[in-house]
Amino acid sequence: MQSTPERRAALEAQIQTRLPQSPELVLVTDLDGTLLGGTKAWRRRFYAWLLARREQVLHVFCTGRDLRSVARLLEEEDSLGLHPPHLVIGDVGCSVACGASLELVPLAVDPIEAAWRGRPERLLPLLEGMPGLSPQPVTADRRLAYFIDPEALDTSRLAAIEAHGVDCLVSDNKYLDVLPAGVNKGSTLLALLEWLEVDPQQVVTAGDTLNDLAMFETGLPGVMVGNAEPDLVAALPRLPQVYRARGEGCEGIVEGLRHFGYGALLGDLAC
């Protein structure tokens, strides 16, 4: 019988074989407001393009959604032609999974699990009853997720939470995620790219809210779609590798890909 390290190595090798071997592009997209943004017509066209270019474009979801929510989404969006990506970064960077099966990638998840161990037991008593917070109805992994009332929440109190070895991330003025310190969409993406041995210049990221800021701060080429939240747009001057698209959602992603020189790969997918 294989040992646990051997089983994990076998799983990771199996995941590797399911990926494009020589992708021309690694496209890393947020979901809500980004890949799920724009008109239905644009979404259908872009999803069809992703499917047709599946061996040329390694597609990664990079989302705040947990993996169960991602599974439900793929069922719901099947009518528009959205297929599973190759890989999923979920839970705002706290989960990494194979896109088709949503099996966790141990090499990526184990260090995050270790950083999170014991945190909830210490943090939940501090967060319970804090004005302006209500738990999100999700089963979040390696993080805590809340809705916020911005008028009632005293954000200065979050510093006491962060003193316990976590980061507090507010996004879209609606959500609070409590994450292991140093873990976010950007840090997990960089670790994943190292595992994949991908040239950073082959990568384009796309997002629209503050939880995508860490992804843009990696220095990788990025597309901030036209419907981005104002607080994210305010960070644009210090993000020289990020292109600010006019188009919303999928249309903005296509606009950004053309900006970064992928016009031939896009073909007749007009912008």
- Tens of pLDDT along the chain (271 residues)? 344 666 566 666 666 667 998 899 999 999 999 999 999 999 999 999 999 999 999 999 999 999 999 999 999 988 899 999 999 999 999 999 999 899 999 889 999 999 999 999 999 999 988 999 999 987 778 999 999 998 999 988 999 999 999 999 998 889 999 999 999 999 999 999 999 999 999 999 999 999 999 999 999 999 999 999 999 999 999 999 999 999 999 999 999 999 999 999 999 886 5
Q: In whole angstroms, what is the distance from residue 155 CA to residue 183 CA?
A: 20
CB atoms within 10 A of CB 168: 18
pLDDT, position 96: 96
pLDDT in tens, 198-245: 999 999 999 999 999 999 999 999 999 999 999 999 999 999 999 999
Alpha-carbon distance values, 233 to 226, 249, 258 (Å): 9, 15, 20
- What own/partner pairs with CB < 8 Å and gap ≥ 24 does 115-124 have? 115/165, 115/180, 115/181, 115/182, 115/183, 116/142, 116/143, 116/180, 119/164, 119/165, 119/166, 119/180, 120/144, 122/164, 123/161, 123/164, 123/166, 123/178
pLDDT, position 79: 87
Q: In whole angstroms, what is the distance from residue 256 CA to residue 259 CA?
A: 5
pLDDT, position 182: 96
Q: In whole angstroms, what is the distance from residue 71 CA to residue 158 CA?
A: 31
| Of 125, 126, 147, residue with least CA distance to 136 | 147
pLDDT, position 14: 61
Q: In whole angstroms, what is the distance from residue 198 CA to residue 50 CA?
A: 19
Domains, the chain, with CATH or none:
4-109+183-266 (3.40.50.1000), 113-180 (3.90.1070.10)
Amino acid found at 94 = C
| Of 240, 242, 235, 270, residue with least CA distance to 256 | 242
pLDDT, position 120: 92
pLDDT, position 158: 93
Q: What is the pTM of this model?
A: 0.91
Q: In whole angstroms, what is the distance from residue 120 CA to residue 143 CA?
A: 8
pLDDT, position 2: 45
CB atoms within 10 A of CB 188: 25
Q: In whole angstroms, what is the distance from residue 80 CA to residue 54 CA?
A: 17
The tokens of 108 are what? 């990526």
pLDDT, position 122: 92
pLDDT in tens, 138-148: 777 899 999 99
